[in-house]
Amino acid sequence: MQPTNLERTDDGLRITWSDGQVRQYTAGELRKACPCATCREKHGAPAPPANMLPVLSPEEARPLSIQGMRSAGGYAYAIKFSDGHGSGLYQFDLLRELGEAVDA
């Protein structure tokens, strides 16, 4: 399955796939599903104590958005987010699983 069209939306991204299916993705959903090694490690880490508040950088405190994308080897996209993160490679099969199918 290959993307045939990419569109930035107000809150994320819309991809049209080679079979005609259109999927909508929010920036938050994509960022949460980041497949990079650092994020995978964080996903497996134990949850912090309930009374511990996270410390956020100014970038993390702003509403999350997609700042840019680039093709990576014809099988994935590297997505740069407004919080400064951009090291994850989102393979097409992962992108196809994420998001929500929408009418074209």
**What span, in angstroms and rounded, lies between the C-alpha atoms of 76 and 88?**
10
Read off the pLDDT of residues 34-68 as tens digits, 9 standing for 90 and up: 999 888 877 676 766 778 777 766 666 678 899 99
Q: Which two tokens stand for residue 16?
A: 């049209």
As a whole-number percent, the residues of the chain with pLDDT over 90 amount to 61
DSSP assignment of 58-86 equals HHHHSPP-EEEEEEETTTEEEEEETTS--
Q: Strand 76-81's sheet: what is its strand order? A: 66-72, 76-81, 89-91
- Decide the pairing of beta strands 22-26 and 12-17: antiparallel
**What span, in angstroms and rounded, lies between the C-alpha atoms of 46 and 36?**
18
Domains of the chain with bracketed CATH: 3-42+59-102 (3.30.2020.30)
Answer positive or negative: Cα dihedral of 7, 9, 15, 20: negative
As a whole-number percent, the residues of the chain with pLDDT over 70 amount to 88
Q: Sorting pLDDT into bands at 50, 70 and 90, what band is 104?
A: low
pLDDT for residue 13: 95
Q: Sorting pLDDT into bands at 50, 70 and 90, what band is 17?
A: very high
Helix (H, G, I), strand (E, B) or coil at 45: coil
